[in-house]
A and B are shown apart, each in its own frame.
Chain A
Amino acid sequence: MQGLLRDEKIRGRLLQAAVLAVVLLCVGSFIVTARQNLLDQGIATGFGFLFHSTGWDISFSLLDYTIDDPYWWLLLIGFLNTLMLGLICIAVATVLGTLIGVARLSENFVLGSFATVYVEIFRNVPLILQGFFWYAVVTHLPSPRRALSVFDAVFLSSRGLYVPGLNVAYWSVALWAVLAVGIVLLAKRLAGRSVGLTPLRVGWGAMAAILVLGVAMAFVLTPAGQPLIDVPYLKGFNFRGGLRITPEFAAIAIAIIVFGAAYIAEIVRGGFLSVPRGQLEAAAAIGLGRFAIYWKVRIPLALRAIMPPLGNQYVFLMKATSIGIAIGFTDLFMITSTSINQSGQTIELLFIMMMLFLVINYSISTLMNLVNRRLALRGFDNDD
């Protein structure tokens, strides 16, 4: 017996050594071949190119960009574009998906059928096909001169959607967001400190404070002599002013939102169905009203089943933004691929892109795990 065991151990060690050797050999030969190929093609390795100016323009950017800006700035822009697209899609898809998921559960036959048809259509067609479709639809809209308009303030045309914008700088929005988070944290500390400070009152107070702060900042920080709200208007063949949502961004955002909402609807539906009927009956038996059953029992229990798959779905949607390249939205992937074409620094650029995706995905899953833990603890330990 002892001999056999030792034999197995040795066998295991040998196998592991062999596997490790093969892996190392492969990686080593990859590196050697890659170096040789790079030398042959005369490509300099290293990250020095990040500080060279790019010399080409992009169509969509949140930050100021000129063709003289360096590559690292461009990659940052791509990263922010991806992040913004992903976050907007996640937020809207969650709201839409929750509504549709709840609609699918409704006893109402018409509402349920609508929701079912929606889910089956948009879940069963590839995302990228939906992206192409919406892009074709958006670019076939009327020209700016015949734009569809709402109150002469919102214009929809083949150049995209023009809406009135606020004449404020990005940094002031960021400042406002930071202050808002501060107010919320303060409100959390204050809540329940004395009899007058019920959580509900503190909540309303915090919301009002954030709103007032926003309005005040908008008035104070707007450049002198310019209107606070920038309304788009037609000049020549295109619009001026306002906030422009490009056809590319609109198409890819609509596609990801519509597709994601169909999946989220199914997750929400599954979560609600997983709540044991006994819990609801027990809640009714102790005399809770319909509303209280919904908010105090059904939703908290359903959330626990919903959160883990929802987190996976968020990561999925973030990754899905990479198909924006198919219709020309300048996300991180498109900027990387164009940069590779222009600079030839394939390996470095791919490495940077993959690291950035890793950062995004791990942040989302860490955040969702945190939320999950909170949700789980609250149910089992203390009941506040």
Chain B
Amino acid sequence: MTIDGPPAAARTDWLDWLRRRLFAGPIDVIVTLAGLGLVVWWGPALFNWLFVDAIWREAGSEACGTPGAGACWAVIEARGRLILFGLYPFEQHWRSATACAVIIAVAVLSCIPAVWTPFRLSTVWIVGFSTFYILMSGGIFGLASVGTEQWGGLALTLFIFASVSIIGMPLSILLALARRSELPVIRWLAAFSIDLTRSFPLLTILFAAALIVPFVLPQWLQGDKLYRIIGAFAFFFACYQAEIIRGGLQAIPAGQYEAAESLGLGYWRRVWLIMLPQAFRNALPPTINQFVITFKDTSIVIIIGLFEVLASGNAAFGTAKWTHSYVEVYVFIALIYFVFVFSLSRYGAFLERRMRIGHD
């Protein structure tokens, strides 16, 4: 039982609502008035700064930063392309934009329950991801070749996020199964690597991948720094996601497993047909949460020296002309993250409600 709103009849009575939600007691009156005072005091100033006094077009941007001037959104018009596409060749920006659109479409598609079969989900992701990769790197279909060192901005952020998910997800399933395996060596190895990885900050793992791998792998196996970091990031993601899946597996009643065994199903068919579908259903809310965290964490690669959206944002106000517009640039980038993360977490909340309906 939850503390929900009042019965429907009372809800229509707005006077009662006012009394209950705004003026329930002397302390409530003070809090309400103080809060409203704050809104009246700061609200208009903020609104004026954001919209009324704001400078929208690059043409009038000389006034930016002068006293009394509002937000300088002109910086987004002037430097927006840099923020979104980084150092990608200017004439090829349409490719980067299309690639971003494709990967966002894939993410949206995979949120639709009708796509939730292993076959459809993997098809959508493999097709979408290959399209993204071909568009970005070129070299075939008459597209000019663009090296990963020129990738940047939002496209790089999305690329890292998508690759981490696409590599990390199957890896996490393997790790979760290994940790529940009956074979002690495999169980210990999985538990050891998961627990160890989870106790370090992501940054140190990425840093180690960038620095240690060149020492321990022969030249031909090292690969690009970008791919090394994605590999380490994916492993980090898999370790957290494996624990989530393991939680989902543990919540499955033992009878399910025994029934499958008594039907004579082998290990992999038990896993594939009985265990994983239920585990994923159990683990859906924390999985979405993990994706949210991972998307936000992609910003950490800026420290390793990759030119993702935050780094290109820093570069956007890095010139003398726009140096005073740092707030605007950060608000713009924060808005990009907010749109992605907020919609994902709302979607997670929707799923949770939907599943609860199924259970009750």
Contact = CB atoms under 8 A, between A and B. Distances in A.
A88 interface: no
A350 B212 contact: yes
Nearest to A353: B204
Contacts of B7: none
A12 B183 contact: yes
Interface residues of A, number: 54
B337 A126 contact: yes
A37 interface: yes
A367 interface: no
A103 B3 CA distance: 15
Interface stretch (B66-74, B109-117, B338-346): B338-346
A376 B182 CA distance: 32
Contacts of B202: 319
A294 to B, nearest CB: 14
Prevailing SS type, chain B contact patch: helix
A129 B215 contact: no
B9 interface: no
Contacts of A111: 31-32, 35
Contacts of A350: 204, 207-208, 211-212
Contacts of B184: 16
Interface string A27-62: 000110110011000000000000000000000000
B355 interface: no
Given A108-B32, A109-B22, A277 B302 contact: no
Interface in B186-222: 186, 189, 199-204, 207-208, 211-212, 214-218
A279 to B, nearest CB: 11
Contact of B204 (A124, A136, A315, A357): A357
B217 A30 contact: yes
B201 A129 contact: no
Prevailing SS type, chain A contact patch: helix
Nearest to A38: B215
Nearest to B324: A140
A110 B32 contact: yes
A322 B204 contact: yes
A153 interface: no
Given A33-B216, A129-B299, A357 B36 contact: no
Interface stretch (B47-55, B246-254, B271-279, B325-333): B325-333
A15 B186 contact: yes
A328 B215 CA distance: 27
A340 B35 contact: no
B200 A354 contact: yes
Contacts of B207: 333, 337, 350
B181 to A, nearest CB: 9
A33 B3 contact: no
Contacts of B98: none
A132 B330 contact: yes
A65 interface: no
Given A126-B296, A128-B303, 20 more contacts: A19-B186, A19-B189, A20-B189, A33-B215, A33-B217, A37-B214, A107-B28, A109-B21, A109-B32, A110-B31, A126-B297, A133-B327, A136-B327, A315-B199, A326-B303, A333-B201, A333-B203, A340-B211, A347-B212, A358-B199
Interface of A: 12, 15-16, 19-20, 23, 30-31, 33-34, 37-38, 107-111, 114, 120-121, 124-129, 132-133, 136-137, 140, 273, 276-278, 315, 319-320, 322-323, 325-326, 333, 337, 340, 346-347, 350, 353-354, 357-358, 361-362
Interface of B: 1-3, 20-22, 24, 28, 31-32, 35-36, 182-186, 189, 199-204, 207-208, 211-212, 214-218, 296-297, 299-300, 302-303, 310, 314, 326-327, 330, 333-334, 337-338, 341-342, 345
14 contacts: A16-B183, A33-B216, A38-B215, A108-B28, A108-B32, A109-B32, A110-B36, A111-B31, A111-B32, A124-B345, A125-B337, A133-B334, A322-B204, A346-B212
